[in-house]
Chains A and B, each alone.
Chain A
C-alpha cells in the first residue's frame, strides 16, 4: 500500500509540484474514507489523468484537490466513475477536465447516480468544439450546471444540455450568458423547468437572439402566474416561438404583466382562449393577452368569450380586421365590448349628462372627471366620488355598481342630479344673514353671544393663561358666509358632517319631490347605499347619532337602532331634521337645523354602548312640533346633563362616519371661497374691485380652520401642503388666460404608431377615426387635428397677384357676374305663378275667341333658385409643394423624409434653408395665386367660402390652418394670412378632410362643396400599413371623401401631380377629380372648375 503510494508519488514528481502536493493532501484526507481496492485505483487514476496529455497535469491537480471533498459524499465506486469521466474529458481537452473537477463539489454530486454523472460530463464534452471559445463555454457549463445539478432531473439535465448545445451553435456568447443566467433562473422556476427548457429551445431554434431576454424575464413572468397556469403559459409561449413571432421577449414581458393581476380563473380562461387563438394567429394572441386588463375591467368572464368569438369569426374572414379587433383598435371591437359591458363610462355619456345637467340647473354646467379636480390639488381628494364646486359637476369615470347598463346609467343620473341639485337648489348660496323659512333664526344671536363669551374668556385668560378657550373663536376673520357660519361651532368636523347630512337630506327630499320620475331609481340607489353603511350599534355614541341621521336622510324609517337612554333626544333630532324636509326650504333651513342638532349631539359622550342599551325605533313622525315647542324641548334637553351611564370608559375622539357614496363630496366652504376668489379676480380685472381683497393670510387662516381639507397636521408637512393649496387655489381662481397661439414651428411631440386612441387635451383640437381598409373598419379616435389660425404676414403677395393677373381676374369676374342675372330671371308660361303674364293671357283669350283650346299657362314666376353655396377649399401645404414648377419633377411619390422625428427635424431644417435662396416659383405659390383669384370671384357672387391649409407630421399632429373660416368676412387679415401659406410637413388628407367636412356640415346651405387642392398622393409617417402599403392612405382619404358625400357635400379633388391618375382613380372613383397637366394653368383653371361645379 505504502509502496504503491510511493510509486505514484514518484510518477507524480515528474509533473509540476502542485500535483504532488495536492495528492499528498488528498491521501491524508481520503485514506480513512475510501477503502481498497478503490483507494489505489483512485490514486492511479490521477496518474492516468496527468499522463494523458501535455497539460493534463493541471486536471490531475484539480482531481486530487476535489477528491478530498467529493469522497465524503459518494461511494468509492462512484468516485472512480467520477474520475473516469474526468479522464475521458482529458481526451478532448485537459481544460475541460479542469473545470469539470473544479465544478464538482461533494454536495453537488451527492445524489448523482453514475449515469447522470456521465451524462453531465458528456454534455459538457459535446459543447467543446475544439476552439478556445467553445472550451470556455464548456467550462462555463460545468460551472453553472454544477450548481443546479441537484435541482434538475435526469431528463431536465439532458434537455438543458441539448438546449445549450443548440444555442451554442448559433452563438457561443449567448450560450454563455444563458448559462450564467440559468444558475438563478432554473431553480426559481421549479416545477415548470422542463416546459421552460422546451420553450427556450424552440426560441433558440427560431429566433436565438431572443433567448437571453427570455432568461432574463423568466423569473418575473413565472411569478406573474398562478402555480397551475405557469406550465400552460410557458407551453403557449413555446408554440408562439415556433410560430415565429418576432419579439418573443416583448410578448413574455407584456403579457405576463397584463395577466399578472388576475386571479386563477381569469388566467386560466385567458389561456384557454389564447390556446384556441394560437393556430390562427400568434400575433392576435399577443394582442388579445395584452388587452386582458382592459377587458376584465369592462366585461365579465363570460362576455369576454362572446367578444372573443366575434374576433375569431372576423379573423377567419379577414386577418387584418381580426387583428385590429383583438388589438381593440377597431370600432367594431369597441362596439362589441360596449354592447356587452354593463358598466357605463363617463366619457360615453358625458355629452348627454352635460345637457341634462344644464337643463336642470339652468346654468352653464360642465361635466368633468373627478380625477381632474383631484389633480388640481385644491382640496378635493377622492377621484371616486362625485362632487361639484358650483360650475362643474365632477363625476367618477365609470359607473359599474350594478350589473346592468341601464341601472349604471341611472346611477350616473342620480349622482349627477344630486350634484346639480346643489346648484339648482342653492347649497352654495348660503347667506349668513338670510332668513330661513321654517325656523326661528338664531345665527346672528348666537354669533353675538359667542363673541361676548369669547371676550369674557379672554379676560379669564389674562388671569389664568393655562386655561384653554373652549368657546369658538368667532372673532376670527371669515372670508365666506359659510366660514362665518362654521365659526359658530367649536367642533367644526362634527358641524360639517351634520350640515352635510342635513343639506344632502334636504336635497334628496327636494329631488324626489320635484322629479317624481327619478324617485323610483333614487329610492333604489338610497337603499343600496344603506347596505354599505356601518353597523350603528358598534359605533360610539356621537358617531352613532350622526349615522342615525344619515340613515334617516336615506329614508330608513323603520327599525333604526337608537340608544335606549337617548330615545327622546333622537326623536327631537328627527323633529328638527324633519323641518328641513318640506318644499321650499333653503340652505339656511339646513343651517338652522344643523345648529340645533349640533347642540344636542355635541353634548353626547362619544363612548361605545353595550348591546343591550340599544333599541329599535320607528322614525315616522306622527305629529309635527311647532317651532316654539321644539325650542323649548331643545333647551330643556341641552340644559339637562346627559343621562348617566356610570362608567363607560373614555370618550373617544369624534371620527366621521363614511360618506354616502352617491352623494359624493360636499365642500360648501371651499366652493364658496373659490367662487368668491373668481369674482374678486374678475372685479379686479375690470378695475372695479368692490369685493374685499382676499389675502394669502386670510386664506391660510381659513383653510387651516376648515374641516373640509384633509390635512394631516401631525405629519409636519402641514404648512407646506397648505401653501400648496393656496397656490393652486389662486391659480384656479384666475380667469383662464387666452393661450397665445404658438407661432413658428414648435418641436413635434412624438408618439408611436402603435398605440392607443388619442384624446383631445387642448382646445381647438379634434379627434377623428381613420379607415383601415385591410381591417375594413375604423381605427377609433386615431388622428388628432389641431386647428390654428394661419399666422399673418403682409399683404404684398396679395397685391402683387392682383396686379399680375389683372386681366385674368377681370375676365373671371365677368364670367362670374354673367351668372348672376339668371338668379332673378322671370320664368314665363307657367300654369301657376306670381301673377298673370299679360301677353299670355291675351293670347289665351284670343285663342278662346278663335275657337281654339286656350293655353292655361298664363302665369310668370321669379326664378326662385337663389344661390346658396358654401365651399371649403383645402390646400395641401405639404413639403413637396416647395418644388419648383418648371423643374423636371422628381418622382413625387417618394416621401423621402426620415421616419425618426429627430432626423426629421434635421431634414426639415436643411430643406428650409435651401428654400430661402429660391428665386423660382413653387407649386405652393401657384396654389396661393389661384386662391387669390378665386377669392375675388367668390366675393362677386357672394358664396360662403372657407380656405384652409393642412399639413402635419404623424397622426397626433395633423395641423389644420385656418386662412379664412366659413363664417369670417373677407378682410385685410386674410390677405395677410395668405402670405404665410408655405410648405410644411406631410399630407395626411383623411383627417383634414374630415375636419373640413365637419365644418361644412354645420352650414345650412343648399349646395356644399369641398374642394381639395393637392400636389400628390396622401402620405405621412404611419399613414400606411406596416410602413409600406401606400394604399392605406389612399383608401382612408377615399373613405373621408365618401363620408363627405353622405353628409350632402360634393367633394372635388384637383391635383397637379401628373402621375396622379393611378391613385386618384381609386381615391375618387365616382367623385369628381381633375389632374392638371400644366401646373401653371392652375390659376385659370381653378375658378372655371369652381364655376362648373356649383352651377
Chain B
C-alpha cells in the first residue's frame, strides 16, 4: 500500500509542463529582439535572456515559440503531419536551488517489482525538438548548469549517465534560459563557461508608450488609466538603487490594472499591487504611496 502511495507521489513529481502555444501571446517588441531570436533559432544558437523580473522575458519566449511554430503549421497542414504536432513545443522549467541533474534528465522509478526509466523535462525537450526554457537559471545548482554544456555547442548531445546513453538533440531543439542580473551577488552569478555558450538578449522594461499598451491589453483598463500606471511604473523605477532593489515590474502594473478593472479604487489597487509588492522599507513605502497619491485621484 505504501508502495502504491509512493508511486503516485513520485509520478506527480515528474509531471512536466509540455505544451505548444496555440494562440498568439500578446507581445510588444521593444527593439529588434524578435528578429534576433529568429535568427538565433534558425542557426540553433542557444539564447540567454537577461533582464529584470516581470519585464516580459517569459512572455517573449512564449511569443517566439508560437511565432516560430506558426510557419510549420501553415506549410504542412496535411492531416498526416497535424497529428505529430507541427507546432513548436515549449518546455518551461522553473529553476530553484534544489533542482538536481536528475530532475532535468530523468530517473529510475519503481514500478511494481521493476525499475523504470522516466525521462526528465530536458530529455523530453531534446528528444521531441522543443524550445526548452530554463527560467531563472542562476537559481539552479551549479552542477545542473554544467549538464547543459554539451547541448549548447556543436555537439548538441545530452548524456544520460545513469543509463549510459547519449541523446542526440532533435533538429528543432533549442535551449533558452533567462537570467536576472538584478540579484548580482557573487554567489548567484552565472559561470563564464556557461554564459559564454549563449547569445544574450538584454531586456528592460518597455518605455511608457509600449508599456501602457501592454497594460491596457493585459488588464483591460482604458488608455488613460494604462498611461497613469505606466507613469507610476517609470517613477518607481527611478528609485532603483535609491532604496529599491528592483523597480515595479510590468507584471505588477498589470496586476494593479486588473484590480482596477475589477472595481478596486486605483490608489488602493496600486498600494497593494505596487507598494507592498516592491518593498518592505516603510519610508520607501510611504514615498511611493505619495507618488501614487499624486498620480491617481
Q: Which listed residue (A361, A362, A517) contacts B295, Cβ 8 A?
A: A517
Q: Which partner residue on chain A sits nearest B292 by CB separation?
A: A517
Contact B235 A517 (CB under 8 A): no
Q: Does chain A have a CB within 8 A of B167?
A: no
- Which residues on the A side are within 8 Å of B100 (C-beta)? 834-835
The proximity string for A residues 490-529 relative to B, scoring 1 for CB distances below 8 Å and 0 otherwise, is: 0000000000000000000000001111111000000000
Contact B294 A355 (CB under 8 A): no
- Which residues on the B side are within 8 Å of A360 (C-beta)? 235, 238, 291, 294
The count of residues in chain B whose C-beta lies closer than 8 Å to any C-beta of chain A is 31
Q: Which listed residue (A354, A358, A518, A856) contacts B293, Cβ 8 A?
A: A518
Q: Does chain B have a CB within 8 A of A854?
A: yes
The proximity string for B residues 24-47 relative to A, scoring 1 for CB distances below 8 Å and 0 otherwise, is: 000000000000000000000000
Known A-B contacts A359-B291, A517-B296, A854-B2; the reply to A351 vs B238 at CB < 8 A is no
Q: Does chain A have a CB within 8 A of B77?
A: no
- Which residues on the A side are within 8 Å of B98 (C-beta)? 834
Q: Which of B193-201, B252-260, B282-290 contacts A (4 or more CB under 8 A)?
A: B282-290
Contact A517 B267 (CB under 8 A): yes
Q: Which partner residue on chain A sits nearest B238 by CB separation?
A: A362
- Which residues on the B side are within 8 Å of A834 (C-beta)? 98, 100
The proximity string for B residues 261-297 relative to A, scoring 1 for CB distances below 8 Å and 0 otherwise, is: 0000001000000000000000110111011111111
Cα of A354 to Cα of B296 in the assembled complex, Å = 20
Tally the A-B contacts, defined by beta carbons under 8 Å.
73
Q: Does chain A have a CB within 8 A of B149?
A: no
- Which residues on the B side are within 8 Å of A354 (C-beta)? 287
Contact A355 B297 (CB under 8 A): no
The proximity string for B residues 214-245 relative to A, scoring 1 for CB distances below 8 Å and 0 otherwise, is: 00000000000000100100111011001100
Contact A359 B293 (CB under 8 A): no
Cα of A413 to Cα of B236 in the assembled complex, Å = 17
The proximity string for A residues 333-362 relative to B, scoring 1 for CB distances below 8 Å and 0 otherwise, is: 000000000000000000111111011111
Most buried by B among A351, A353, A853: A351
Q: Does chain B have a CB within 8 A of A487?
A: no
Cα of A518 to Cα of B228 in the assembled complex, Å = 13
Contact B297 A516 (CB under 8 A): yes
Q: Which listed residue (A359, A520, A856) contacts B236, Cβ 8 A?
A: A359
Q: Does chain A have a CB within 8 A of B78?
A: no
Most buried by B among A361, A515, A834, A848: A515
Interface positions, chain A 360-407, Cβ under 8 Å from B, are 360-364
B97 to nearest A CB, angstroms? 9
The count of residues in chain A whose C-beta lies closer than 8 Å to any C-beta of chain B is 29
Q: Does chain B have a CB within 8 A of A417?
A: yes
Cα of A265 to Cα of B234 in the assembled complex, Å = 53
- Which residues on the A side are within 8 Å of B107 (C-beta)? 835
B82 to nearest A CB, angstroms? 40
Contact B286 A352 (CB under 8 A): yes
Known A-B contacts A514-B231, A835-B102; the reply to A417 vs B3 at CB < 8 A is no
Most buried by A among B236, B238, B243: B238
Contact A515 B287 (CB under 8 A): no
Q: Which partner residue on chain A sits nearest B286 by CB separation?
A: A352
- Which residues on the A side are within 8 Å of B292 (C-beta)? 517
- Which residues on the B side are within 8 Å of A363 (C-beta)? 238
Contact A364 B242 (CB under 8 A): yes
- Which residues on the B side are within 8 Å of A516 (C-beta)? 228, 295-297
Contact B234 A362 (CB under 8 A): yes
Cα of A351 to Cα of B235 in the assembled complex, Å = 17
Q: Does chain A have a CB within 8 A of B6?
A: yes
Q: Which partner residue on chain B sits nearest A358 by CB separation?
A: B242
B207 to nearest A CB, angstroms? 13
Q: Which partner residue on chain B sits nearest A361 by CB separation?
A: B238
Most buried by A among B3, B290, B291, B297: B290
7 contacts between A and B (CB under 8 A): A351-B283, A359-B239, A359-B287, A359-B288, A362-B235, A516-B228, A519-B297
Q: Given known contacts A360-B235, A517-B292, what 20 new A-B pairs fall within 8 Å (CB)?
A: A351-B283, A355-B239, A355-B242, A356-B291, A358-B238, A358-B239, A359-B235, A359-B238, A359-B287, A359-B291, A360-B238, A360-B294, A363-B238, A413-B294, A417-B294, A514-B295, A516-B296, A519-B297, A835-B102, A856-B6
Task: Give residues in A with beta carbon < 8 Å to B.
Answer: 351-356, 358-364, 413, 417, 514-520, 834-835, 841, 848, 853-854, 856
